[in-house]
Amino acid sequence: MTIQASMSPHTAIVVSNVSIKNDIATSISYIHICDQPLVKTVHHVAFVTSTEVELFAIRCGINQACNKENISKVIVITDSIHVAKKIFDTKSHLYQIYILVILNELRQFFTRCQDNHIKFWKCPSQLR
């Protein structure tokens, strides 16, 4: 499915990953669009929760993908699908600021065209 999706010039594939070591979080987002260079974004931040940094990584990826020209489908691949579900839980006061920013970006994306859509795919981390 990933290979087929990556062949469409109207599909952006967002892969997010996060790690925390010694209270320093590293957030990495990759954006793949057919026939365009792979975009890698790395952020470092200290003293945040894993959920906060996961939401941030997903947000960065969605933001970059939705702002690309001619993109009508965004696929977010993450090993933290439980965090992605928080985006659509407006009762979650703890992460409300992150959720509002992501939902605003998605609202703009969906407003551009009613056929635009987003999918979230779970990709489990490798066991070590």
Rounded to 10 deg, the angle between the 96-112 and 50-66 helix axes is: 20
Provide the CATH number for the domain around residue 51. 3.30.420.10
Rounded Cα–Cα distance for residues 124 and 126 (Å)? 6
Q: Is residue 127 part of a domain?
A: no
Question: In this structure, which amino acid lies at residue 111?
Answer: T
List the pLDDT tens digit at each of the 128 positions of the chain: 667 777 888 999 999 888 889 989 999 999 999 888 889 999 999 988 888 888 888 888 888 998 888 999 999 998 888 888 877 776 766 777 778 888 888 899 999 998 999 999 888 765 43
In the chain, how many domains are there?
1
SS3 55: helix
Beta strands in the chain (DSSP E): 11-21, 24-33, 39-46, 73-78, 117-122
How far is it, in rounded angstroms, from Cα 116 to Cα 42? Answer: 27
Give the range of the structural domain holding residue 49, as residue numbers without chain letter: 2-113
In a domain, 123, yes or no: no
What is the rounded (10 degree) CA torsion for 59, 61, 2, 79?
Answer: -50
Residue 125 included in any domain: no
Whether 63 maps to a domain, the answer reads: yes
Check: CB of residue 6 under 8 Å from CB of residue 68: no
* pTM (two decimals): 0.83
